[in-house]
Structure 1
Amino acid sequence: MSQIPPAPARPAADGPEASARPGRAGPDPAALAEGVLNGDRRALARAITLVESGRADHRALALDLLERLAPARRQALRIGLSGTPGVGKSTFIESFGLMLIGLGLRVAVLAVDPSSARSGGSILGDKTRMERLSRDRAAFIRPSPSQAELGGVARRTREAIALCEGAGFDVVLIETVGVGQSETLVAEMTDLFVLLLAPAGGDELQGVKRGIMEIADLILINKADGDLKPAALRTVNDYAGALRLLRRRPHDPDGFPKAMPVSALAEEGLQKAWAEMQALAEWRREKGFFDSRRAEQARHWFEAEVRAGVLARLAADPEVARRMQALGAKVAAGAAAPARAAAEVLAAFDARG
């Protein structure tokens, strides 16, 4: 993997980024950009807070900030990681991250915490679950609430990735809550997608949807240690057999996707898994798939932003909002067809435009 040159030394706390604290006029994008490019972790944290903000004025400042960072063209290897709760994602990320740091790399972790459907609150406890990694100066851990986004992926996660790249991190790990719908979204913002599973019998293959396996680049069976090691190896064989039945993707070399055993607790198999990730990423770079995939992702998120903006404008128009509420009641009562009601709302919006 082509590595990013080390970021310049961290500036003093009273440097230009110190003035970027949110105030009455809002954060200063120029100062934040300078701090991020200099590798200042506090500036990076404030920058991510800015892009996550739902305020319209903050959104304009966030776009200014991202535009200031774009010319640097720093690029990290983006790795998405998903798995069911209890599979050991946090333990794996901590052990894997410390291993990467031992190789001289800087690692950022964006961990998306599930938000409460009732209160909207999140636990945001990833730093306590990755205590050793959070203390390392070469690591940056940012827990973010999912904010009721589909699949538990925060809407601005992709912009947080760009900020981490601007700060000079070599690897960005994106951990999802693993609720079953986030995998496709993560795949649209990362270079590699890793699925972490626990040892199980062959019947457990039925619990993994074919669609998830089709987007996974690497399936890692965790907890391959102690009494669970034989079960883990059997599970690896089960998934390896299942993967051979899938059609090989044109952007993958022979042998991918593949299944491997790892033990985050015993720190075994991590370097081999990293070697496989590097090999796959380098192969895609050489064949041109890496850059073309990133271009496709950029277009995908551009279109997503346009759709989100249209929906926001619909919701912000009082007359259209009243029409939507009235027609929604009719649809719920069976007095109007959903497609016809939607056409009326759009027609009303066009007439007001």
Structure 2
Amino acid sequence: MTEKKNISKNKKTDVLPLKNTNKLWAEKIKTQRSKQPSINQFVEGIVSGDISFLSRAITLIESTNSEHQKKANEILERCLPYANNSIRIGITGVPGVGKSTFIEALGNHITALEKKVAVLAIDPSSSVNKGSILGDKTRMEQLVANPNAFIRPSPSGCSLGGVAQKTRESIILCEAAGFDTIIVETVGVGQSETAVHEMVDFFLLLKLAGAGDELQGIKRGIIEMADAIVINKADGDNEKNAKIAKTAFNRALHLYPPKETGWQPKVLTASALKNKGINPIYKMIEQYVSDTKHTGLFQKKRAKQNKYWLIETINQELKTSFFSNSKVQKQLQEEIKKVENGTSTPFNSAKKILPLL
């Protein structure tokens, strides 16, 4: 009898601490949320180079919460005077070309020159469950431990071509935090390259030797945008193939129309894994920046990009406002059923919905 009473008593005492713990935890979470830094604290923290404030501000930028967006916009406005003082480099290439390894090698090289590097890596989101691995930090083990480097993987979500909608705003915050080199990595698929090309100063395309004419044909538009092509994995038995590919791409590039900047795109070889060819690539990027700044085309290009993102932002806001409208949502569901049943065409249904906003 004594033993049973002890068991019953123990069960009772087990339940009470658990309830108390849950209550205390809920109160702690509530307190933490209410103590979110002010806009002044965010700006001061970012400008002083505090990574925790930078990370939290980027999270606000990526949030769909209206209050978060309002706060993020104010932070951006306050940080703008401290921005626009970096070299922005876009890096693209098909999956498997070695983008992460190359970016890590380039980032380590730049930080060795006493510079600070921020990597904004766009991680592809699943079209089925909308999830994202966000694995760039695990693929760049050395760079993530570098005190002069900041790596921020962001899910691509449903934005155009897999490019995170807020990447360009994140660039401004990284510049305000003192990062003088910003690297933007694309997912390497869809139209993401076009969007990234419109937010960077130098656009670099990574290729593999012997990838095939079919792939080159598909990527022709990307080659036209590239300021340089780097044949990666040029080591071991593949070194000879890389040299052949370099010659072929050099010939092909001379057939394309000259760029507005007057820059003739270069073709180089590298082995990111062996850390070969990284220094010449960075020197080439520095030469490009120096040449375009001397002619005034560097700022002209940035001004053109600002105009591009103004239009893109307006388009995005109009789209969001349209589809969040209750009348549009109701009519849209009705028109979808008609289109699926074949009683209306997509074009006629669209004409009925569009005037509702």
TM-score (norm 2): 0.87
Cα shift readout 1:272-318 (whole Å, capped 9, x = no counterpart):
11111111122111222111111111111111111111121212221
Tell me if 1:247 matches 2:261.
no
User: 2:14 maps to what in 1?
Assistant: none
* SS of match in other structure, 1:227: helix
Q: Distance in 2 between matches of 1:281 and 1:332?
A: 53
Stretch of structure 1 that moved more, 175-184 or 336-345: 336-345
User: 1:15 maps to what in 2?
Assistant: none
User: 1:344 maps to what in 2?
Assistant: 352
User: 1:94 maps to what in 2?
Assistant: 104
- The number of residue pairs the alignment matches comes to 327
* SS of match in other structure, 1:23: helix
Residue 332 to residue 288, structure 1, CA distance change in 2 (3 Å)? farther
Q: Distance in 2 between matches of 1:295 and 1:241?
A: 32
Aligned residue type for 1:67: E
Cα shift readout 1:129-173 (whole Å, capped 9, x = no counterpart):
111111111000111111122222100000111110010101000
User: 1:302 maps to what in 2?
Assistant: 310
Residue 231 to residue 138, structure 1, CA distance change in 2 (3 Å)? same
Residue 158 to residue 34, structure 1, CA distance change in 2 (3 Å)? same
Matched-pair identity in %? 43
Q: Give, in angstroms, the shift of residue 27 of structure 1.
A: 4.4
In the alignment, structure 2 segments of 5+ residues that lack a partner are: 1-30
Aligned residue type for 2:305: Q
In the alignment, structure 1 segments of 5+ residues that lack a partner are: 1-20
Tell me if 1:313 matches 2:321.
yes
Larger radius of gyration: 2
* SS of match in other structure, 1:160: helix
Residue 180 to residue 252, structure 1, CA distance change in 2 (3 Å)? farther
Find 1:192's aligned residue among 193, 196, 202. 202
Q: Give, in angstroms, the shift of residue 74 of structure 1.
A: 4.2
Residue 200 to residue 340, structure 1, CA distance change in 2 (3 Å)? same
Residue 234 to residue 44, structure 1, CA distance change in 2 (3 Å)? same
Tell me if 1:68 matches 2:75.
no
Equivalent pair of 1:201/1:234 in contact (CA under 8 Å) = no
Aligned residue type for 2:323: A
Q: Distance in 1 between matches of 2:267 and 2:214?
A: 15
Q: Give, in angstroms, the shift of residue 328 of structure 1.
A: 3.0
Q: How does 1:10-89 map to 2 (within 5 A)?
A: 23-24=33-34, 26-89=36-99
Q: Give, in angstroms, the shift of residue 333 of structure 1.
A: 4.0
User: 2:157 maps to what in 1?
Assistant: 147
* SS of match in other structure, 1:64: helix
Q: Distance in 1 between matches of 2:103 and 2:292?
A: 24
Report which of the two has the higher share of helix: 2
Residue 127 to residue 25, structure 1, CA distance change in 2 (3 Å)? same
Q: Distance in 2 between matches of 1:311 and 1:25?
A: 33
Tell me if 1:126 matches 2:162.
no
User: 1:108 maps to what in 2?
Assistant: 118
Equivalent pair of 1:112/1:154 in contact (CA under 8 Å) = yes
Q: Give, in angstroms, the shift of residue 335 of structure 1.
A: 3.4
User: 2:18 maps to what in 1?
Assistant: none
Residue 344 to residue 202, structure 1, CA distance change in 2 (3 Å)? closer
Equivalent pair of 2:250/2:267 in contact (CA under 8 Å) = yes
Cα shift readout 1:247-288 (whole Å, capped 9, x = no counterpart):
1112133xx212111111111111111111111122111222
Q: Which runs of 4+ in 1 moved over 4 A?
A: none
Find 2:229's aligned residue among 185, 194, 219. 219
